[in-house]
Amino acid sequence: MSDASSIWPDAIFDALVALEVRQVSYVPDAGHRRLIERCRAATDMQAVVLTTEEEGVALATGAWLGGVRSALLMQSSGVGNCINMLGLLQTCRCPLLMLVTMRGEHGEFNPWQVPMGQATAAVMQAVGVVVERLDDPAQAGLTVRMMGRMAYEGQRGVALLIGQRLIGAKSFGR
Domains of the chain: which residue ranges?
4-167
Helix (H, G, I), strand (E, B) or coil at 47: strand
Residue 105 — φ and ψ, nearest 5°? -120, -140
Percent of the chain with pLDDT over 70: 87
For the question of whether the overall pTM of this predicted structure is more than 0.75, the answer is yes
pLDDT in tens, 108-133: 666 777 667 778 899 999 999 999 99
- pLDDT-wise least confident of 43-47, 84-88, 93-97, 139-143: 84-88
Query: CATH assignment of 4-167?
Result: 3.40.50.970
Helix, strand, coil percent values for the chain (each to nearest 5): 55, 20, 25
Integer distance in angstroms from the first to the last C-alpha of the chain?
12
Of the pLDDT bands very low, low, confident and very high (cuts 50, 70, 90), residue 62 is very high
The partner residues of 160 in beta bridges, in order of sequence, read: 99, 132
Distance (Å, rounded) from C-alpha 117 to C-alpha 86? Answer: 17
CA 162 to centroid of chain Cα atoms: 8
88 versus 18: which is more confidently predicted? Answer: 18
Average pLDDT, the chain: 89
Are 147 and 158 within 8 A, CB to CB?
Answer: yes
Question: 49: pLDDT confidence band, cut at 50, 70 and 90?
Answer: very high
The whole-number average pLDDT for the span 55-60 is 96
Bridge-partner residues for 132, per DSSP? 160
Distance between CA atoms of 15 and 9, rounded to whole angstroms?
Answer: 10
Q: Do residues 123 and 80 lie in contact, with contact meaning Cβ atoms separated by under 8 Å?
A: yes
pLDDT at 2: 44
What residues contact 91, with CB distance under 8 A and at least 6 apart?
none
**CA angle centred on 91, ends 22 and 154, rounded to 5°:** 50
Who wins on pLDDT, 106 or 24? 24
